Chain A
């Protein structure tokens, strides 16, 4: 015991139901347009108002187009869902960061940027990638729509306390190996269910050395190992990131908050239900070859052969390869690709655009590639322009689109056509994830940039 997770969780327990779950207090509820309408409808049916409307922040992101955001949204069904969020926020008196304003973007990018996600908080959203906010030292996790309604109605949810896991990654990452590679590596080791039932604390030199953007990427992908969430104990880097942000505590409040945040770490004697150790030197740039994020390899290695796969899993493995158009034992370096997507709550931050620009600078986009470069927020877009990244990528033949979730799950117009290959910095490669029949290869912004330049799967270390 005495883990940071215990400290934050236990502090938020309102009551423990006999032979049942814990009633947990929630500091922050984020809502987007896709998983909230039925929760609002439920509140209306019950005749309820939001219990703590000042702790709820809403933002359209999944359906937002990546062009002409100042014009009406073409797709009438998307438009209806976006309008429904506007109306619900008005009716229930909730703060909404509206589309086509400087405050908008992807909720998991904007929350930390605005200083709304803070150390020690409990944060939930009807979205599995809520785990992202764990980078700020918060206990943050995704919930279903019924649970969104619970939080609206009572600022609480009912949850079984997860077990705790610590993942230590020690040593120093090699050049061209970034947070995304670390996450893809962990998933391939743990599989997509390896951390189910656990809440993960990331620790070790690699995590301490990681920028806040890197930690956001790492925590974002916790759900891809099945974990309820993942987080990093806050440190000076965290405090520096938060200080001065729009909603961050100021003045005396800041001093008080900081004093508390500095106590947020696992004790030296902390006991975790499970503890795993990894070495940075084992991690290379990575890609996925299958249809779940755990099906990944180092970029220069081959897809596993059938005899290395557990007999019970062979049917799923072969179904997956068939969908992707790959064969067991195949090497993917040099395989031609069609699309590149830089963005999403995984890799839509300024550091990702810097990394992409660094690689494409002075080179030209491959003719066979369609590239979608989508910032995670308008603030990221502003940074891109301030730093001249837009000029660098434009000179290489790319354009920066307008912020939103975009081709990560293709609820807007940005869909990868059936059968086409996309090297994507997003979080999921499930069948049809980026559009029906689309084939997604998950990778870091560096691998995506290398592919965008060469038109094929390329090791960024060789450019």
Chain B
């Protein structure tokens, strides 16, 4: 999952629902694995499949008109459970970017820690994206991480998005927080000595 990030241009998959919680992204019964593999198969499991395992034709991941590595979702994406399995499912399915007007805190961190980029856009920009996709399901969006700009290539409208410099550096270089923290263990010891 440690794919280095730079500029991504892709068609989009729209999910114009608000408050999509992580129980929908990956239901609890799929949390019993002890590794990180295979979660993509069960992304949005209960919206994607009927109980008998047949596919629900009206769900967007099953709609052949849509494809791409960018998921465009409604406000407050990833609320609820802290399960990182939701981020593993999104990454495992092949998404590299999720665009929404608002992300739940823990889920946003989980995406970043799995090299999926959460892009926060304005309500207006998001609505226009949904409109553009519904008018032309092959329309593309360009996500430029180095310049922190997202562009709707149909309307040519762009918007700047925020990401802190450290996380941007990590994503662009495939770096990992654990390595950073282990390298800084001496600072932790100093803190402990000063706070005995």
Contact = CB atoms under 8 A, between A and B. Distances in A.
A154 B24 contact: no
Given A144-B113, A154-B181, A315-B17, A38 B188 contact: no
A313 B18 contact: yes
Nearest to B179: A46
A431 B46 contact: yes
B9 interface: no
A48 B187 contact: no
- How many chain A residues sit at the interface, stated as a range, is 35 or more
B31 interface: yes
B29 interface: yes
A158 B177 contact: yes
Contact of A11 (B24, B76, B188, B195): B195
Q: Which of A62, A316, A418 has the most CB atoms of chain B within a 10 A radius of its CB?
A: A316
Nearest to B176: A146
Interface string A32-57: 00110110011000101001000000
Contacts of A437: 51
A192 B19 contact: yes
Contact of B167 (A20, A149, A223, A436): A20
B99 to A, nearest CB: 16
B105 A143 contact: no
B74 A316 contact: yes
A334 interface: no
A21 interface: yes
B51 A197 contact: no
A37 B33 CA distance: 8
Interface string B55-85: 0000000000000000000111001111110
B181 A418 contact: no
Residue of A63, A146, A226, A432 with most chain B CB atoms under a 10 A cut-off: A146
Contacts of B127: 312
A258 interface: no
B58 to A, nearest CB: 12
Interface in A4-41: 11, 14-15, 17-21, 23, 25, 34-35, 37-38, 41
A430 interface: yes
Given A21-B167, A78-B32, 4 more contacts: A20-B165, A144-B83, A294-B19, A312-B75
Interface of B: 16-19, 21, 23-24, 27-29, 31-36, 46, 51, 74-76, 79-84, 87, 102, 104-106, 109-110, 113-114, 127, 164-167, 177-178, 180-182, 184-185, 187-188, 191-192, 195
Interface of A: 11, 14-15, 17-21, 23, 25, 34-35, 37-38, 41-42, 46, 48, 51, 62-63, 77-78, 80-81, 84, 126-128, 142-147, 149-150, 153-156, 158, 160, 162, 192-193, 196-197, 223, 226, 228, 292, 294, 312-313, 315-316, 319, 409-411, 418, 428, 430-433, 436-437
